[in-house]
Amino acid sequence: MSSFSNNESRLTPFGHASTGLPDPGDASVMQAHLENQSLKAQIVTQTQLTHLLTHQLATPLTALGGSVDLLADPDLAVAHRQEFLVVVQQQVQRLQNLLQDLKSLRNLETGTLETNPVSFCLKGLVEEVVGTLPGSQVGYNLSADLPLVRGDRWQISQVLINLLSNAVKYSPDDGLIEVGAARQPSGWVEVWVRDHGLGIPASDQPHLFERFYRVQHRDRHTIQGTGLGLSLCKLLVENQGGQIGFESTHGEGSRFYFTLPASDR
């Protein structure tokens, strides 16, 4: 009887080594294999997305359901009724934010988000966005020679809103927040938002721009969010041709920065 050694490949009836992969010489089979692998990857992604989205919906819907049940009690005191109405308003706003972020992500990924790049004054946009955060301590560090930048003004405003809102949210002691911008030697303009709040644990930092990812740490268990803001920021910045990054030390704060092309590049 003939046998195969451990070093020999078993041959198919057509003389090809059996590797479990389609014959690379057969283009149609190889294409079908690649499409099958792509389909499997899409299924895994959609399953993860469904799981994460279900989790994001569960908390506000549970809070809404409980509050509505209590509000239906005719004997509920006026003060308690007002408390539960505030909860309802907060959770409805949370669901609206989630929906808006999902729509923006979908439009970016499908290429249907309209982009209108223009040259504009970054200082004016920064002051405009900071004005939407009443009561927050925000300091400015904008270079005097800051050039005009080029990009979609609305999309960049959404990046600033997200980063500044996060800085406020993760600064529980109302510490000073700084927003700055300066021209880099490369000709690009770097914009940053710095806070002195909770910071990000080192183990969470590699995942920060992943969709729906939220840091799970006891120092922020009462802080709500969708986990979509930073992934949306990344897509919006890259849509302008720029890059986004951060530096952070847990317990000491974070500095998020992104780049935009100067108008005169």
**Per-residue pLDDT reduced to its tens digit, 149-184:** 999 999 999 899 999 989 998 888 878 899 999 999
- The helix or strand, by DSSP H or E, that contains position 222, with its residue range, turns out to be none
Residue 194 lies in a domain: yes
Q: How many residues comprise the chain?
A: 265
User: The domain containing residue 34 runs over which residues?
Assistant: 27-110
pLDDT at 7: 46
Please indicate, yes or no, if residue 140 is contained in any of the structural domains.
yes
Q: What pLDDT score does 75 carry?
A: 86
Looking up residue 52, the CATH number of its domain turns out to be 1.10.287.130
Residues 87 and 150 in one domain: no
Looking up tokens 């729906």, which residue turns up? 212
Q: Are strands 177-183 and 188-195 parallel, antiparallel or unpaired?
A: antiparallel
76 shares its domain with 193: no
What is the helix (H) or strand (E) element at residue 87, kind and residue range? helix 78-110
Residue 10: pLDDT above 50? no
| pLDDT score of 2 | 43
Same domain, 128 and 182: yes
With CA atoms as reference, report the closest residue to 168 among 122, 211, 212, 229: 229
227 in the same domain as 124: yes
Across the chain, what does the average pLDDT equal?
81
Segment 129-142 mean pLDDT? 85
Beta-sheet pairing, 244-249 with 253-261: antiparallel
User: Pick from 47, 80, 110: which residue ends a domain?
Assistant: 110
Task: Please state the rounded mean pLDDT for residues 247-256.
Answer: 95
CA dihedral (199, 203, 206, 207) in degrees, to 10, reads: -90
Within-domain flag for 4: no
pLDDT at 109: 72
Domain closes at, from 110, 138, 159: 110
**In terms of domains, do 37 and 140 share one?**
no
Q: Per-residue confidence at 248, pLDDT binned at 50, 70, 90? A: very high
Give yes or no for residue 12 having a pLDDT over 80. Answer: no
- The domain boundary, picked from 53, 85, 110, lies at 110
Residue 123 shares a structural domain with residue 254: yes
What pLDDT shows up at residue 240? 92
In terms of domains, do 121 and 103 share one?
A: no
- Please indicate, yes or no, whether the overall pTM of this predicted structure exceeds 0.85: no
Tokens of 195: 């806070």
The DSSP symbol for 123 reads: H
pLDDT on residue 256: 98
* pLDDT for residue 87: 82
Residues 229 and 127 in one domain: yes
Do 253 and 145 reside in the same domain of the chain?
A: yes
Residues 105, 231 contacting (CB under 8 angstroms): yes
Question: Is the pLDDT confidence value at 16 over 60?
Answer: no
Q: Is residue 126 part of a domain?
A: yes
Residue 75 domain flag: yes
21 within domain boundaries = no
Q: Is 106 found in the same domain as 41?
A: yes
108 vs 106: CA distance, rounded Å = 5
Residue-wise pLDDT for 36-91, tens only, equals 776 776 665 556 556 556 656 776 788 788 888 888 888 888 888 888 888 888 78
Q: Of 9-13, 144-148, 177-181, 187-191, where does mean pLDDT reach its minimum? A: 9-13
Cα–Cα distance for residue pair 75/89, rounded to 1 Å: 21
Is 264 a residue whose pLDDT tops 50? yes
Which residues have a Cβ under 8 Å from the Cβ of 117 and sit 6 or more positions away? 150, 151, 152, 240
- CB within 8 Å of 91: residues ≥ 6 apart: 60, 61, 63, 64, 67
Domain count, the chain: 2
pLDDT score of 53: 63
Q: What is the pLDDT of residue 150?
A: 95
8 within some domain: no
pLDDT at residue 112 greater than cutoff 50: yes
- 87 with 63: CB under 8 angstroms? yes
Give me the pLDDT at residue 220, please: 77
Domain membership of residue 127 (yes or no) is yes
